[in-house]
């Protein structure tokens, strides 16, 4: 239960006691209920939206970290691969 996509809060307001806002998803904007993230989200923050409700704030630090880890892994693999090639060229088994 699943389809939640990230978007940026570009506006916040109160609709008869309910915290709502406008969220921008890469060029598409929709009204989203912010009641469940009201205390932690400000204009400019990213939220995960499911059926018109923000269910969580995107932790941008963690998001970046996940990506760095993966990228490092990819570079490490490349270094390993290059090392293997070099070893093979010198007649050393990897």
Partner 1 sequence: MTTITARRTPTIQGIACPTPVSNHTHVQLGHGSGGKMSAELLRERFLPRFASPFLAELGDGARVPVSGSEVVVSTDTFVVSPIEFPGGNIGHLAVHGTVNDLAMMGATPKYLSAGFVLEEGLELAVLDRVLDAMAAAAEACGVEIVTGDTKVVDRGRADGLYVNTTGIGFLHDGFRPSPTRARTGDSVLVSGPLGRHGMAIMAVREGLAFDSEIVSDTASLAPVVASLRDRLGADVHCLRDATRGGLASALNEIARASKVGVVLSRPAPVPGPVEAACEMLGLDPLYVANEGVLVAFVASEREEEALDAMRSQGVGAEGVKIGSVVGEHPGMVVQRTGLGGSRVVDMLPGDQLPRIC
Partner 2 sequence: MKYLTEYRDPELARTLVDRINRTATKRWTLMEVCGGQTHTIVKQGINEVLSEAVEMIHGPGCPVCVTPLEQIDRALHLAANPDVIFTSFGDMLRVPGSECDLLQIRARGGNVRVVYSPLDAVKLAQKHPDKEVVFFAVGFETTAPANAMAVWRARELGIENFSVLVSHVTVPPAMVALLEDPSNRVQAFLAAGHVCTIMGWKEYEPLVERYEVPIIVTGFEPLDILEGIWMAVRQLEDGRHEVENQYVRAVRREGNRPAQDLVSTVFQPVDRGWRGIGTIPASGLGLRPEFAAYDAEKKFGLEDIHAEESPDCRAGEVLKGQLKPHQCPSFGTRCTPETPLGAPMVSSEGACAAYYNFGRLRAGAGA
CB of 90 to partner 2, least distance (A): 23
Residue that is written with structure tokens 């490349």 in the block? 78
User: What's the rounded Cα separation, in Å, for the pair 73 and 81?
Assistant: 12
Which is closer to partner 2, CB of 2 or CB of 89? 2
Contact between 55 and partner 2 per CB under 8 A:
yes
Where do contacts with partner 1 occur on this chain (CB under 8 A)? 1-3, 5, 22, 25-30, 49-51
| Number of Cβ atoms within 10 Å of the Cβ of 10 | 12
From the CB of 18, what's the least distance to partner 2, in Å? Answer: 7
Q: Which residues bind partner 2 (CB under 8 A)?
A: 1-6, 8, 16-18, 25-26, 30, 33, 35-39, 46, 48, 50-53, 55-56, 58-60, 62-63, 65-67, 70-71, 73-74, 77
């Amino acid at each position: 239960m699943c389809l939640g996509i990230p978007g940026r809060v570009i506006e916040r307001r109160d609709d008869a006691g309910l915290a709502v806002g406008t969220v921008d998803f890469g060029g598409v904007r929709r009204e989203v209920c912010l009641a469940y993230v009201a205390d932690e989200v400000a204009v400019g923050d990213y939220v995960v939206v499911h059926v018109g409700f923000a269910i969580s704030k995107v932790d941008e630090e963690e998001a970046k970290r996940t990506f760095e880890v993966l990228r490092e892994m990819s570079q490490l693999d490349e270094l390993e691969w290059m090392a293997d090639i070099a070893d093979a060229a010198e007649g050393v088994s990897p």
